[in-house]
Amino acid sequence: MRRSYANKKLARHSRRPAELLLVPMIDIFTVLVTFLLMTAVFSRTVILQLNLPASQTEFKDPPPGLQLEVMVRKDLLQVADRNTGPLATLPNTQTGPNYDGLTDYLKRVKAKFPEKTDASILLEPDTTYDTVIQVMDRVRVFEVKEGLNTTQAELFPDISMGDAPPVDAASGATNGSTAPTAAAPAGGVPHS
Residue 180: band (very low, low, confident or very high) from pLDDT cuts 50, 70, 90: very low
C-alpha to C-alpha distance for 85 and 103, rounded to whole angstroms: 19
- pTM confidence score: 0.60
The CA-to-CA distance between both ends of the chain, in Å, stands at 112
61 or 127: which carries more pLDDT confidence? 127
Per-residue model confidence (pLDDT) at position 83: 86
Position 178 pLDDT exceeds 50? no
- Percent helix, strand, coil in the chain, to 5, is 30, 25, 45
Whole-number pLDDT of residue 27: 95
- Give the rounded distance of the alpha carbon of 145 from its chain centre: 26
- Complete DSSP assignment for 102-115: HHHHHHHHHHH-TT
pLDDT at 51: 64
- Could you report the per-residue pLDDT of 68-109, keeping only the tens digit for each? 999 999 999 999 998 888 999 999 999 989 999 999 999 999
Q: How confident is the model at residue 11 (pLDDT cuts 50, 70, 90)?
A: low
Distance between CA 183 and CA 164 in Å, rounded? 20
Q: Which residue has the higher pLDDT, 145 or 60?
A: 145
Q: What residue ranges do the domains of the chain occupy?
A: 2-39, 68-163
pLDDT higher at 135 or 192 = 135
Give 39's pLDDT tier (boundaries 50, 70, 90): confident
The topology (CATH level 3) of 68-163 is: Nucleotidyltransferase; domain 5 (3.30.420)
In 10 A of CB 159, how many CB atoms? Answer: 19
- DSSP assignment of 53-93: PPP-SS-PPPPSS--EEEEE-SSEEEEEETTTEEEEEEE-B
